[in-house]
Copies of this chain bind each other. A is one copy, B any other.
Amino acid sequence: MNDNGAAAERLFGGIEAGGTKFVCVVGTGPDDIRAKTRIDTTRPEPTLDHTIRFFREFESSGAEIAAIGIASFGPVELRERESDYGYITRTPKPHWSHTDMVGPIAAALDVPIGFDTDVNAAALAEGRWGASRGLDTHVYVTVGTGIGGGVVANGGAVHGLVHPEIGHVYVPRVEGDTYGGGCPYHDDCLEGMASGFAMNERWERRAEELEGDAFDAALAMEATYLASGFRNIVYAIAPERIVVGGGVSEMPGLIPLVRSKLVERLGGYPGLPEHAGDDFVVPAQLGSGAGSAGSLVLAELALQRRFATG
């Protein structure tokens, strides 16, 4: 994925398909967006129709889009051998379970289509233009209403049976925390204990509204849970960096506290000084643009695959 001249001349389309809006862009990267629109996420058909219209209108000006990437909310089916490849599989969002995302876009626009989760796309984008630029093996974790994560290794996003669901790794309960947990599936997972949703329920107000001792207590607990979750990531994946985005990650002082608590939790194993460095757990750089930028990386990877397989 070098930013060489030939690649820079190609225009890619990107769709960040979220539960409340679809952000559609055409460009070569986050600093070179030639067109952009925001479409409310209503029902699948009108939303996808509107999306297709945006790209068609762009192409009607004579410019050509080489490939399109879709960075989607999920869960999604990423295994190409499956008959529902490219679908949102089952989601609490009304009307969107079992929605074919890739099919209609591919049929209408006849270009290679890349498809992955929004967080895998964000991880790719942070690797290409953001906080994990130049690294081979890295993880992006978003801590917002929920907690999700994307993993990049060996030149691509990692997904097997399904995509990583980093929010659901185990975390030990913090002593004295009596909150029951906010995950309907687990009483002991990172998302259940440390998402924005969980913080709101535990502290009975939004994280941004906490002050004084209440803020300090919430910050310490949040950092402890995140550090426990990141320990599992360190040992399972051995990333070179963990990039943290999402609204909750902006709590003042959170990232430095996660760093020191992670070092405690690693307990000196494997004893790498890098795990204690300021550049191991870092804030995301692309902010809310990560999903969009990531959709452009998905497009480029789809084009490369097309070339590679003839």
A contact residues vs B (CB 8 Å cutoff): 75, 90, 135-138, 151, 153-156, 158-172, 185-186, 188-189, 228, 231-241, 266-272, 274-275, 280
Contact = CB atoms under 8 A, between A and B. Distances in A.
Pick the most buried of A167, A237, A272: most chain B CB atoms within 10 A of its CB.
A237
Nearest to A228: B170
Contacts of A168: 231, 235, 269
A206 B218 CA distance: 45
A154 B156 contact: yes
Contacts of A154: 153-156, 158
Identical chains in the assembly: 2
Contacts of A236: 151, 164, 166, 169, 232-233, 236-237
A165 B239 contact: no
Given A154-B153, A159-B137, A239-B160, A90 B271 contact: yes
A135 B159 CA distance: 11
Contacts of A164: 235-238
15 contacts: A137-B158, A137-B161, A151-B237, A153-B156, A154-B154, A154-B158, A164-B235, A164-B236, A164-B238, A165-B234, A165-B235, A165-B269, A170-B172, A189-B235, A232-B232
B272 A238 contact: no
Given A90-B271, A233-B236, A269-B186, A137 B160 contact: yes
Given A75-B270, A170-B232, A172-B188, A238 B165 contact: yes
Given A158-B158, A168-B231, 17 more contacts: A151-B237, A153-B153, A161-B239, A161-B274, A162-B272, A165-B234, A165-B270, A167-B235, A168-B235, A169-B170, A169-B231, A169-B232, A170-B170, A170-B232, A172-B172, A172-B188, A233-B236
Pick the most buried of A90, A165, A235: most chain B CB atoms within 10 A of its CB.
A235
A233 to B, nearest CB: 6
Contacts of A135: 160
